[in-house]
Structure 1
Amino acid sequence: MKIVNKAVEMISKTNLDGQITPVKFRLIEEDESWIEIKVDQVLTKELNKLAGNKMWVYECQSLISGTLKRYQLRYEIDTCRWQLFKI
């Protein structure tokens, strides 16, 4: 997987216990067009602490442009921001 570290707009769902699950996100490409990706499957979810920031790390996979791809999404707890970290 290649590190891209891009901020994304996310649609997520939260259950009664407060657990967050990503559903769909979109990001800006280099040509300033938007790409929208539906999260087909969350493979793993773990809580990490990087540089003092707590974040949820989600390993996911989706069908993107006809190809099944794995990628990593990160949710920073303190800032409430989502990132596409690796793809």
Structure 2
Amino acid sequence: MAALNIPIQLVGACSTLGDMTPLWFRYENEEHAVVTVKVEEVVSSKEERYCGMDYISFVCWAAAEGQRRLIELRYRVSTHKWSLFRTLS
């Protein structure tokens, strides 16, 4: 289970309380094709701090190219950037 840490473009929704929910994202694969991934379910989310940087980590079930996988997405608070951090299954 190696960390990927691939930068992604993400579309999400925010509740009236400020809670974020990822809906879908896309990234560029090795063949330079854009892959779109639908987030089916957010299993958990938590705020974390690594090396002095604040992140929000989301563990989600996602579907792309006919496969369903458990993935971890990370949002870096200071830069407002998203990444596909790793696949868990």
Normalised to the residue count of structure 2, the TM-score between the two structures is: 0.92
Looking at structure 1, the residues matched to 33 and 63 of structure 2 have their Cα atoms a distance apart, in angstroms, of 19
**1:39 is matched with which residue?**
39
Cα deviation 1:9-48 (Å, max 9, x = unaligned): 0001111111111111000001110000010000010100
Alpha-carbon distance, 1:53 to partner:
0.7
Q: What does 1:14-25 correspond to in 2, within 5 Å?
A: 14-25=14-25
Q: Structure 2 regions of 5+ residues with no counterpart?
A: none
Q: Structure 1 regions of 5+ residues with no counterpart?
A: none
Identity %: 24
Normalised to the residue count of structure 1, the TM-score between the two structures is: 0.94
Alpha-carbon distance, 1:67 to partner:
2.5
Does the aligned pair in 1 maintain the 2:4–2:84 contact within 8 Å? yes
Does the aligned pair in 1 maintain the 2:36–2:64 contact within 8 Å? no
**1:9 is matched with which residue?**
9
**1:80 is matched with which residue?**
80
- Which amino acid is 1:46 matched to? K
**RMSD over equivalenced CA pairs, Å:** 1.0
| Alignment coverage as a number of residue pairs | 87
Query: Tell me, what secondary structure is at the counterpart of 1:8?
Result: strand
